[in-house]
Structure 1
Protein backbone atom coordinates (compact mmCIF):
# COMPACT_ATOMS: atom_id res chain seq x y z
CA UNK A 1 0.00 0.00 0.00
CA UNK A 2 1.22 3.51 -0.77
CA UNK A 3 2.37 5.58 2.20
CA UNK A 4 -0.16 8.37 1.74
CA UNK A 5 -2.98 5.81 1.66
CA UNK A 6 -1.95 4.49 5.07
CA UNK A 7 -2.40 7.81 6.84
CA UNK A 8 -5.61 9.47 7.99
CA UNK A 9 -6.19 12.81 6.30
CA UNK A 10 -5.39 14.79 9.44
CA UNK A 11 -1.95 13.14 9.62
CA UNK A 12 -0.90 14.04 6.08
CA UNK A 13 1.81 16.67 5.68
CA UNK A 14 0.74 20.16 4.66
CA UNK A 15 3.58 20.34 2.14
CA UNK A 16 5.92 17.85 0.49
CA UNK A 17 9.21 19.08 -0.92
CA UNK A 18 11.06 17.21 -3.64
CA UNK A 19 14.63 17.35 -4.82
CA UNK A 20 14.86 17.93 -8.58
CA UNK A 21 17.57 16.13 -10.57
CA UNK A 22 17.73 12.44 -9.73
CA UNK A 23 14.34 12.60 -8.04
CA UNK A 24 11.83 14.14 -10.46
CA UNK A 25 13.90 13.99 -13.62
CA UNK A 26 17.38 13.07 -14.79
CA UNK A 27 19.80 13.21 -17.71
CA UNK A 28 19.20 10.97 -20.72
CA UNK A 29 22.96 10.48 -21.01
CA UNK A 30 25.74 10.80 -18.46
CA UNK A 31 27.55 14.08 -17.90
CA UNK A 32 30.69 12.44 -19.26
CA UNK A 33 28.97 11.39 -22.48
CA UNK A 34 27.49 14.84 -23.04
CA UNK A 35 30.78 16.62 -22.37
CA UNK A 36 32.59 14.12 -24.61
CA UNK A 37 30.23 14.92 -27.48
CA UNK A 38 30.58 18.69 -27.14
CA UNK A 39 34.34 18.62 -26.48
CA UNK A 40 34.83 16.72 -29.74
CA UNK A 41 33.24 19.65 -31.59
CA UNK A 42 35.95 21.88 -30.14
CA UNK A 43 38.93 19.68 -30.94
CA UNK A 44 39.21 17.58 -27.78
CA UNK A 45 38.85 13.81 -27.94
CA UNK A 46 38.83 12.07 -24.57
CA UNK A 47 37.01 9.10 -23.07
CA UNK A 48 33.59 9.87 -21.59
CA UNK A 49 34.28 7.80 -18.47
CA UNK A 50 37.44 9.80 -17.77
CA UNK A 51 35.48 13.03 -18.12
CA UNK A 52 32.76 11.69 -15.81
CA UNK A 53 35.26 10.82 -13.08
CA UNK A 54 37.09 14.15 -13.35
CA UNK A 55 33.80 16.05 -13.30
CA UNK A 56 32.64 14.28 -10.14
CA UNK A 57 35.92 15.17 -8.44
CA UNK A 58 35.71 18.83 -9.50
CA UNK A 59 32.06 19.09 -8.52
CA UNK A 60 32.63 17.64 -5.05
CA UNK A 61 35.54 19.99 -4.37
CA UNK A 62 33.65 23.12 -5.49
CA UNK A 63 32.21 25.53 -2.90
CA UNK A 64 28.44 25.39 -2.25
CA UNK A 65 26.31 26.73 -5.09
CA UNK A 66 24.74 29.52 -3.05
CA UNK A 67 25.16 33.28 -3.33
CA UNK A 68 24.23 36.36 -1.33
CA UNK A 69 20.92 37.99 -2.31
CA UNK A 70 21.33 40.14 -5.39
CA UNK A 71 19.68 41.12 -8.65
CA UNK A 72 18.78 38.11 -10.79
CA UNK A 73 21.17 39.13 -13.57
CA UNK A 74 24.05 39.19 -11.08
CA UNK A 75 23.14 35.77 -9.67
CA UNK A 76 22.88 34.31 -13.17
CA UNK A 77 26.39 35.53 -13.92
CA UNK A 78 27.64 34.05 -10.65
CA UNK A 79 26.02 30.73 -11.55
CA UNK A 80 27.65 30.80 -14.97
CA UNK A 81 31.05 31.55 -13.44
CA UNK A 82 30.62 28.83 -10.78
CA UNK A 83 29.88 26.15 -13.35
CA UNK A 84 32.63 27.40 -15.64
CA UNK A 85 35.13 26.90 -12.84
CA UNK A 86 33.87 23.35 -12.23
CA UNK A 87 34.10 22.45 -15.92
CA UNK A 88 37.46 24.17 -16.32
CA UNK A 89 38.83 22.21 -13.36
CA UNK A 90 37.47 19.02 -14.93
CA UNK A 91 39.47 19.41 -18.12
CA UNK A 92 42.51 20.78 -16.29
CA UNK A 93 42.60 17.50 -14.33
CA UNK A 94 42.60 15.66 -17.63
CA UNK A 95 45.37 17.94 -18.94
CA UNK A 96 43.50 18.74 -22.15
CA UNK A 97 42.08 22.21 -21.52
CA UNK A 98 44.75 23.78 -23.73
CA UNK A 99 43.59 21.57 -26.61
CA UNK A 100 40.22 23.30 -26.98
CA UNK A 101 39.88 25.43 -30.08
CA UNK A 102 37.84 27.84 -27.94
CA UNK A 103 37.08 26.74 -24.37
CA UNK A 104 34.89 29.78 -23.65
CA UNK A 105 32.69 29.02 -26.65
CA UNK A 106 32.57 25.34 -25.68
CA UNK A 107 31.44 26.13 -22.16
CA UNK A 108 28.88 28.73 -23.22
CA UNK A 109 27.28 26.27 -25.63
CA UNK A 110 27.13 23.37 -23.21
CA UNK A 111 25.89 25.58 -20.37
CA UNK A 112 23.01 26.68 -22.57
CA UNK A 113 22.28 23.08 -23.56
CA UNK A 114 21.62 22.04 -19.96
CA UNK A 115 19.03 24.81 -19.74
CA UNK A 116 16.92 23.25 -22.51
CA UNK A 117 14.53 20.30 -22.53
CA UNK A 118 16.76 18.15 -24.73
CA UNK A 119 19.12 16.51 -22.18
CA UNK A 120 16.42 15.65 -19.63
CA UNK A 121 13.73 13.04 -19.13
CA UNK A 122 11.01 12.81 -16.47
CA UNK A 123 10.92 9.61 -14.42
CA UNK A 124 7.79 7.57 -15.24
CA UNK A 125 6.55 7.72 -11.63
CA UNK A 126 6.93 11.48 -11.20
CA UNK A 127 3.70 12.86 -12.63
CA UNK A 128 1.55 10.10 -11.11
CA UNK A 129 2.99 10.84 -7.68
CA UNK A 130 2.55 14.61 -7.98
CA UNK A 131 -1.06 14.20 -9.08
CA UNK A 132 -1.77 11.91 -6.12
CA UNK A 133 -0.30 14.48 -3.73
CA UNK A 134 -2.17 17.36 -5.33
CA UNK A 135 -5.46 15.44 -5.23
CA UNK A 136 -5.01 15.16 -1.46
CA UNK A 137 -4.62 18.96 -1.24
CA UNK A 138 -0.97 18.68 -0.24
CA UNK A 139 1.09 21.67 -1.29
CA UNK A 140 4.21 20.82 -3.27
CA UNK A 141 7.61 22.45 -3.50
CA UNK A 142 11.09 21.87 -4.89
CA UNK A 143 14.31 22.26 -2.90
CA UNK A 144 17.34 21.85 -5.14
CA UNK A 145 21.07 22.53 -5.26
CA UNK A 146 20.61 23.67 -8.85
CA UNK A 147 20.70 27.13 -10.38
CA UNK A 148 18.13 29.45 -11.95
CA UNK A 149 17.99 27.33 -15.12
CA UNK A 150 15.88 24.90 -13.09
CA UNK A 151 12.84 27.17 -13.36
CA UNK A 152 12.87 26.96 -17.16
CA UNK A 153 13.70 23.24 -17.16
CA UNK A 154 10.71 22.48 -14.92
CA UNK A 155 8.55 24.55 -17.25
CA UNK A 156 9.83 22.76 -20.37
CA UNK A 157 9.22 19.38 -18.72
CA UNK A 158 5.65 20.44 -17.78
CA UNK A 159 6.37 19.96 -14.09
CA UNK A 160 6.18 23.56 -12.89
CA UNK A 161 2.37 23.39 -12.80
CA UNK A 162 2.51 21.17 -9.70
CA UNK A 163 4.66 23.36 -7.48
CA UNK A 164 3.73 26.26 -5.26
CA UNK A 165 7.37 27.02 -4.50
CA UNK A 166 10.78 26.40 -6.06
CA UNK A 167 13.73 26.97 -3.74
CA UNK A 168 17.10 26.94 -5.50
CA UNK A 169 20.38 27.03 -3.61
CA UNK A 170 22.04 29.63 -5.82
CA UNK A 171 19.18 32.06 -5.20
CA UNK A 172 18.48 31.10 -1.58
CA UNK A 173 22.09 31.67 -0.52
CA UNK A 174 22.32 28.24 1.09
CA UNK A 175 22.78 24.75 -0.34
CA UNK A 176 21.70 21.42 1.07
CA UNK A 177 22.66 19.98 3.53
CA UNK A 178 22.46 23.37 5.30
CA UNK A 179 19.24 23.64 7.29
CA UNK A 180 18.66 27.26 6.25
CA UNK A 181 17.55 26.27 2.76
CA UNK A 182 14.77 24.17 4.30
CA UNK A 183 13.75 27.07 6.54
CA UNK A 184 13.55 29.36 3.52
CA UNK A 185 11.39 26.84 1.65
CA UNK A 186 9.09 26.39 4.65
CA UNK A 187 8.70 30.14 4.94
CA UNK A 188 7.26 30.28 1.43
CA UNK A 189 4.39 28.10 2.68
CA UNK A 190 4.11 29.74 6.12
CA UNK A 191 4.66 26.35 7.72
CA UNK A 192 6.97 24.81 10.30
CA UNK A 193 9.11 21.73 9.79
CA UNK A 194 6.74 19.34 11.58
CA UNK A 195 4.13 20.00 8.87
CA UNK A 196 6.46 19.08 6.01
CA UNK A 197 8.12 16.13 4.30
CA UNK A 198 11.12 16.12 2.00
CA UNK A 199 12.00 13.46 -0.58
CA UNK A 200 15.25 13.17 -2.49
CA UNK A 201 17.80 10.74 -3.87
CA UNK A 202 20.82 11.83 -1.81
CA UNK A 203 21.26 10.10 1.56
CA UNK A 204 23.18 13.09 2.94
CA UNK A 205 21.93 16.22 1.14
CA UNK A 206 18.29 15.12 1.15
CA UNK A 207 17.45 12.47 3.74
CA UNK A 208 19.82 13.35 6.59
CA UNK A 209 19.73 17.09 5.89
CA UNK A 210 15.93 17.27 5.93
CA UNK A 211 15.75 15.08 9.02
CA UNK A 212 18.22 17.34 10.82
CA UNK A 213 16.09 20.33 9.84
CA UNK A 214 13.08 18.71 11.51
CA UNK A 215 11.14 17.64 8.43
CA UNK A 216 9.71 14.22 7.80
CA UNK A 217 12.31 12.71 5.50
CA UNK A 218 12.35 9.96 2.88
CA UNK A 219 15.28 8.68 0.86
CA UNK A 220 14.39 7.87 -2.74
CA UNK A 221 16.52 4.79 -3.35
CA UNK A 222 15.94 4.17 -7.05
CA UNK A 223 19.14 2.16 -7.44
CA UNK A 224 18.41 -0.20 -4.52
CA UNK A 225 21.62 0.71 -2.68
CA UNK A 226 22.20 -1.08 0.59
CA UNK A 227 22.22 1.59 3.31
CA UNK A 228 20.79 1.48 6.80
CA UNK A 229 18.23 4.26 6.36
CA UNK A 230 14.84 3.95 8.01
CA UNK A 231 12.52 5.73 5.57
CA UNK A 232 13.24 4.50 2.05
CA UNK A 233 11.19 4.69 -1.13
CA UNK A 234 12.07 2.41 -4.07
CA UNK A 235 10.21 4.80 -6.36
CA UNK A 236 7.72 7.66 -6.18
CA UNK A 237 4.78 5.34 -6.84
CA UNK A 238 5.34 3.94 -3.35
CA UNK A 239 4.60 7.37 -1.88
CA UNK A 240 1.25 7.94 -3.51
Structure 2
Protein backbone atom coordinates (compact mmCIF):
# COMPACT_ATOMS: atom_id res chain seq x y z
CA UNK A 1 0.00 0.00 0.00
CA UNK A 2 1.42 3.37 -1.04
CA UNK A 3 2.10 5.77 1.82
CA UNK A 4 0.02 8.94 1.68
CA UNK A 5 2.02 12.09 1.02
CA UNK A 6 1.97 14.50 3.97
CA UNK A 7 0.79 18.08 3.71
CA UNK A 8 3.71 19.24 5.86
CA UNK A 9 7.01 17.74 7.00
CA UNK A 10 8.53 19.27 10.12
CA UNK A 11 12.15 18.88 11.15
CA UNK A 12 14.20 19.33 14.25
CA UNK A 13 17.17 21.59 13.45
CA UNK A 14 20.43 21.01 15.32
CA UNK A 15 21.47 17.37 15.21
CA UNK A 16 18.97 16.63 12.45
CA UNK A 17 19.65 19.07 9.61
CA UNK A 18 23.02 20.37 10.73
CA UNK A 19 25.58 19.85 13.47
CA UNK A 20 28.68 21.39 15.04
CA UNK A 21 31.75 20.75 12.86
CA UNK A 22 34.30 20.25 15.61
CA UNK A 23 32.00 19.56 18.53
CA UNK A 24 31.06 21.91 21.33
CA UNK A 25 34.12 21.17 23.49
CA UNK A 26 36.65 21.97 20.75
CA UNK A 27 34.75 25.07 19.66
CA UNK A 28 34.54 26.41 23.21
CA UNK A 29 38.23 25.62 23.77
CA UNK A 30 39.37 27.40 20.58
CA UNK A 31 37.58 30.62 21.45
CA UNK A 32 38.70 30.38 25.07
CA UNK A 33 42.31 30.11 23.86
CA UNK A 34 41.86 33.39 21.97
CA UNK A 35 41.06 34.83 25.39
CA UNK A 36 44.26 33.35 26.89
CA UNK A 37 42.52 30.43 28.58
CA UNK A 38 43.88 26.94 27.89
CA UNK A 39 41.64 23.97 28.58
CA UNK A 40 41.07 20.39 27.43
CA UNK A 41 38.31 20.16 24.76
CA UNK A 42 37.25 16.72 26.03
CA UNK A 43 36.85 18.06 29.55
CA UNK A 44 34.79 20.95 28.21
CA UNK A 45 32.62 18.61 26.15
CA UNK A 46 31.81 16.51 29.20
CA UNK A 47 31.24 19.60 31.35
CA UNK A 48 28.97 21.16 28.74
CA UNK A 49 26.78 18.08 28.49
CA UNK A 50 26.46 17.96 32.27
CA UNK A 51 25.69 21.68 32.49
CA UNK A 52 23.10 21.44 29.76
CA UNK A 53 21.32 18.52 31.40
CA UNK A 54 21.06 20.53 34.62
CA UNK A 55 19.58 23.54 32.86
CA UNK A 56 15.90 24.35 32.58
CA UNK A 57 14.35 24.51 29.08
CA UNK A 58 14.86 27.83 27.23
CA UNK A 59 11.37 29.18 27.84
CA UNK A 60 10.58 32.50 29.49
CA UNK A 61 6.92 32.83 30.56
CA UNK A 62 5.56 36.34 30.84
CA UNK A 63 8.45 37.92 28.94
CA UNK A 64 7.67 40.39 26.14
CA UNK A 65 8.79 39.24 22.70
CA UNK A 66 11.41 41.98 22.37
CA UNK A 67 13.11 40.68 25.54
CA UNK A 68 13.45 37.09 24.29
CA UNK A 69 16.86 37.47 22.56
CA UNK A 70 18.35 38.92 25.76
CA UNK A 71 16.86 36.10 27.84
CA UNK A 72 18.25 33.52 25.41
CA UNK A 73 21.69 35.12 25.67
CA UNK A 74 21.54 35.00 29.48
CA UNK A 75 20.34 31.38 29.41
CA UNK A 76 23.30 30.28 27.29
CA UNK A 77 25.74 32.40 29.28
CA UNK A 78 24.69 30.60 32.46
CA UNK A 79 25.34 27.23 30.80
CA UNK A 80 28.73 28.37 29.49
CA UNK A 81 29.72 29.73 32.90
CA UNK A 82 28.64 26.46 34.51
CA UNK A 83 30.65 24.56 31.88
CA UNK A 84 33.91 26.40 32.52
CA UNK A 85 33.36 26.30 36.27
CA UNK A 86 32.98 22.53 36.18
CA UNK A 87 36.07 22.31 33.97
CA UNK A 88 37.98 24.19 36.68
CA UNK A 89 39.15 27.10 34.52
CA UNK A 90 36.57 29.83 35.14
CA UNK A 91 39.07 31.85 37.22
CA UNK A 92 41.46 32.08 34.26
CA UNK A 93 39.15 34.50 32.42
CA UNK A 94 39.85 38.19 32.80
CA UNK A 95 36.48 39.02 31.26
CA UNK A 96 34.14 36.05 31.00
CA UNK A 97 31.21 38.17 29.79
CA UNK A 98 33.34 39.53 26.95
CA UNK A 99 34.46 36.01 26.05
CA UNK A 100 30.90 34.72 26.05
CA UNK A 101 29.75 37.55 23.79
CA UNK A 102 32.32 36.34 21.23
CA UNK A 103 31.25 32.72 21.69
CA UNK A 104 27.55 33.47 21.31
CA UNK A 105 28.15 35.54 18.17
CA UNK A 106 30.30 32.77 16.69
CA UNK A 107 27.40 30.31 16.84
CA UNK A 108 25.22 32.80 14.94
CA UNK A 109 27.55 32.48 11.92
CA UNK A 110 27.86 29.56 9.48
CA UNK A 111 31.45 28.85 10.61
CA UNK A 112 30.82 26.28 13.38
CA UNK A 113 28.09 24.39 11.52
CA UNK A 114 27.91 21.71 8.84
CA UNK A 115 24.87 20.37 6.98
CA UNK A 116 24.47 16.59 7.03
CA UNK A 117 24.96 15.04 3.59
CA UNK A 118 21.50 13.46 3.45
CA UNK A 119 19.67 16.71 4.15
CA UNK A 120 19.73 18.88 1.02
CA UNK A 121 18.73 16.16 -1.49
CA UNK A 122 15.79 15.21 0.74
CA UNK A 123 14.42 18.68 1.45
CA UNK A 124 14.87 19.75 -2.18
CA UNK A 125 12.93 16.68 -3.34
CA UNK A 126 10.07 17.20 -0.90
CA UNK A 127 9.95 20.92 -1.65
CA UNK A 128 9.79 20.18 -5.38
CA UNK A 129 6.84 17.84 -4.75
CA UNK A 130 4.92 20.73 -3.22
CA UNK A 131 5.15 19.48 0.37
CA UNK A 132 5.35 22.31 2.88
CA UNK A 133 8.39 22.19 5.18
CA UNK A 134 8.85 23.62 8.65
CA UNK A 135 11.29 23.64 11.56
CA UNK A 136 10.35 22.84 15.16
CA UNK A 137 13.31 23.46 17.44
CA UNK A 138 14.33 24.03 21.04
CA UNK A 139 17.21 26.16 19.76
CA UNK A 140 17.07 29.95 20.07
CA UNK A 141 16.41 32.96 17.83
CA UNK A 142 19.80 32.61 16.13
CA UNK A 143 18.23 29.74 14.21
CA UNK A 144 16.56 32.18 11.80
CA UNK A 145 19.94 33.60 10.74
CA UNK A 146 21.71 30.23 10.73
CA UNK A 147 19.18 28.65 8.38
CA UNK A 148 19.57 31.58 5.99
CA UNK A 149 23.38 31.52 6.17
CA UNK A 150 23.40 27.78 5.45
CA UNK A 151 21.31 28.50 2.33
CA UNK A 152 18.28 26.55 3.56
CA UNK A 153 15.78 29.29 4.37
CA UNK A 154 14.01 29.21 1.00
CA UNK A 155 12.81 25.65 1.61
CA UNK A 156 11.07 26.31 4.93
CA UNK A 157 7.80 28.20 5.22
CA UNK A 158 7.76 28.18 9.03
CA UNK A 159 10.19 28.15 11.94
CA UNK A 160 8.86 27.42 15.43
CA UNK A 161 11.19 27.86 18.41
CA UNK A 162 10.59 27.15 22.07
CA UNK A 163 11.44 30.59 23.45
CA UNK A 164 8.70 32.18 21.32
CA UNK A 165 6.07 29.50 21.95
CA UNK A 166 6.77 29.42 25.68
CA UNK A 167 7.12 25.64 25.68
CA UNK A 168 9.85 23.19 24.68
CA UNK A 169 9.68 19.84 22.93
CA UNK A 170 8.32 17.31 23.78
CA UNK A 171 5.52 19.62 24.98
CA UNK A 172 2.54 19.31 22.63
CA UNK A 173 2.27 23.11 22.46
CA UNK A 174 5.37 23.20 20.27
CA UNK A 175 3.94 20.86 17.66
CA UNK A 176 0.44 22.36 17.78
CA UNK A 177 1.88 25.84 17.30
CA UNK A 178 3.81 24.64 14.25
CA UNK A 179 0.75 22.89 12.81
CA UNK A 180 -1.36 26.04 13.23
CA UNK A 181 1.03 27.96 10.97
CA UNK A 182 0.17 25.55 8.16
CA UNK A 183 -3.52 25.08 9.00
CA UNK A 184 -2.68 21.41 9.24
CA UNK A 185 -4.07 18.49 11.25
CA UNK A 186 -1.60 16.23 13.11
CA UNK A 187 -2.61 13.31 10.89
CA UNK A 188 -1.54 15.29 7.81
CA UNK A 189 2.00 15.96 9.04
CA UNK A 190 5.30 14.19 9.59
CA UNK A 191 8.06 15.13 12.00
CA UNK A 192 11.71 14.10 11.65
CA UNK A 193 14.26 14.45 14.44
CA UNK A 194 17.15 12.83 16.27
CA UNK A 195 15.74 12.79 19.81
CA UNK A 196 13.44 9.95 20.80
CA UNK A 197 12.03 11.94 23.71
CA UNK A 198 11.77 15.42 22.23
CA UNK A 199 11.00 14.59 18.60
CA UNK A 200 9.56 11.10 18.20
CA UNK A 201 7.57 10.87 21.44
CA UNK A 202 6.47 14.50 21.33
CA UNK A 203 5.14 14.27 17.77
CA UNK A 204 3.47 10.86 18.01
CA UNK A 205 1.73 11.89 21.24
CA UNK A 206 -0.52 14.28 19.29
CA UNK A 207 -1.04 11.97 16.32
CA UNK A 208 1.72 13.01 13.93
CA UNK A 209 3.74 10.43 12.04
CA UNK A 210 7.33 10.64 13.28
CA UNK A 211 10.69 9.38 12.09
CA UNK A 212 13.68 9.03 14.41
CA UNK A 213 17.10 9.75 12.92
CA UNK A 214 19.98 7.87 14.49
CA UNK A 215 22.94 10.19 14.06
CA UNK A 216 26.26 8.92 15.39
CA UNK A 217 27.07 10.16 18.93
CA UNK A 218 29.93 12.36 17.72
CA UNK A 219 27.58 14.05 15.22
CA UNK A 220 24.89 14.92 17.73
CA UNK A 221 24.70 18.32 19.26
CA UNK A 222 23.85 17.43 22.87
CA UNK A 223 20.82 19.68 22.79
CA UNK A 224 18.60 17.07 24.40
CA UNK A 225 18.16 16.03 27.98
CA UNK A 226 18.08 12.37 27.00
CA UNK A 227 21.77 12.23 26.03
Fold similarity call, TM over 0.5: yes
The runs of 5 or more residues in structure 1 that have no matched partner are: 1-5, 225-240
The runs of 5 or more residues in structure 2 that have no matched partner are: 218-227
Which residue does 2:22 correspond to in 1?
Answer: 29
Per the alignment, in what secondary structure is the counterpart of residue 17 of structure 1? strand
Which residue does 1:80 correspond to in 2?
Answer: 73
Residue among 205, 216, 225 paired with 1:212: 205
Per the alignment, in what secondary structure is the counterpart of residue 140 of structure 1? strand
1:72 Cα deviation from its structure 2 partner = 4.0
1:68 Cα deviation from its structure 2 partner = 3.0
Which residue does 1:20 correspond to in 2?
Answer: 13
Query: 2: distance between equivalents of 1:188 and 1:97?
Result: 43
1:109 aligns with 2:102: yes
More moved, 200-209 vs 76-85: 200-209
Query: 2: distance between equivalents of 1:151 and 1:173?
Result: 17
1:92 aligns with 2:85: yes
Which residue does 2:189 correspond to in 1?
Answer: 196
1:167 Cα deviation from its structure 2 partner = 0.3
Deviations 1:65-87 (A, max 9, x none): 12236544310000000000010
Per the alignment, in what secondary structure is the counterpart of residue 143 of structure 1? strand
Query: 2: distance between equivalents of 1:181 and 1:28?
Result: 28
Per the alignment, in what secondary structure is the counterpart of residue 197 of structure 2? helix
Per the alignment, in what secondary structure is the counterpart of residue 101 of structure 2? helix
Residue among 128, 137, 150 paired with 2:143: 150
Deviations 1:35-79 (A, max 9, x none): 111111223211100000000011111111122365443100000
1:115 Cα deviation from its structure 2 partner = 0.2
Which residue does 1:232 correspond to in 2?
Answer: none
CA contact (8 A) 1:33 1:48 kept: yes
Greater relative contact order, per chain length (Cα 8 Å cut-off, separation 6+):
2
Query: 2: distance between equivalents of 1:171 and 1:61?
Result: 22
Number of residue pairs matched?
217
What is the aligned-residue RMSD (CA, Å)? Answer: 1.5
Which residue does 2:2 correspond to in 1?
Answer: 7
Query: 2: distance between equivalents of 1:97 and 1:223?
Result: 31
Per the alignment, in what secondary structure is the counterpart of residue 150 of structure 1? helix
Map 1:140-179 to 2 at 5 A. 140-179=133-172
